[in-house]
Amino acid sequence: MRGALSAILLFSLLGLAGCSGIVGVSGFFNPGMASGVVSIVHFIAIGDGGIAVNVTAVTLTNSGSAQDFTFCGNQTSFFPMNTFVDVTFNPGQNCSTVVSVFAH
């Protein structure tokens, strides 16, 4: 019964999204998480279908490996160089939205 109700709710939300544009579902997806030392941080513009989108490109290094992230908007103040950070974010198609950053 619970699964059927979940399916009905999901299809109802999808139907609403198709009719009126945008529907937000808060808490539906788990945010992304990463940790590491900030080794590169740049505020840049990337192309999105002919429109420039401002993003912050960040490289975090942890235990010898590096991970690259692209966060929406100017988030450079959250990522001081050579500082170990824990970042939580909501993944996006072109860029991710920062939820929280804890610098150690």
Q: Are residues 41 and 83 in the same domain?
A: yes
Three-state secondary structure call for residue 20: helix
Structural domain harbouring 4: 1-28
Do 37 and 18 have their domain in common?
A: no
Question: Residue 96 in contact with residue 90, Cβ under 8 Å?
Answer: yes
If one counts the domains in the chain, the total is: 2
**Amino acid 29: pLDDT:** 58
Contact 70, 77 (CB under 8 A): no
Same domain for 16 and 44? no
Based on the fold, state whether residues 88 and 70 are members of the same structural domain: yes
54-68 mean pLDDT: 97
Other beta carbons within 10 angstroms of residue 86's beta carbon come to 14
Examine the domain organization and report whether 59 and 92 are in the same domain. Answer: yes
Phi-psi region of 37 (alpha: psi -120 to 50; beta: other; left: phi over 0): beta
Angle at the Cα of 96 from the Cα atoms of 93 and 97, rounded to 5 degrees = 130
Q: What pLDDT does 28 receive?
A: 52
pLDDT digits (tens, 9 = 90+) for 19-47: 433 444 444 556 899 999 999 999 999 98
Same domain, 47 and 83: yes
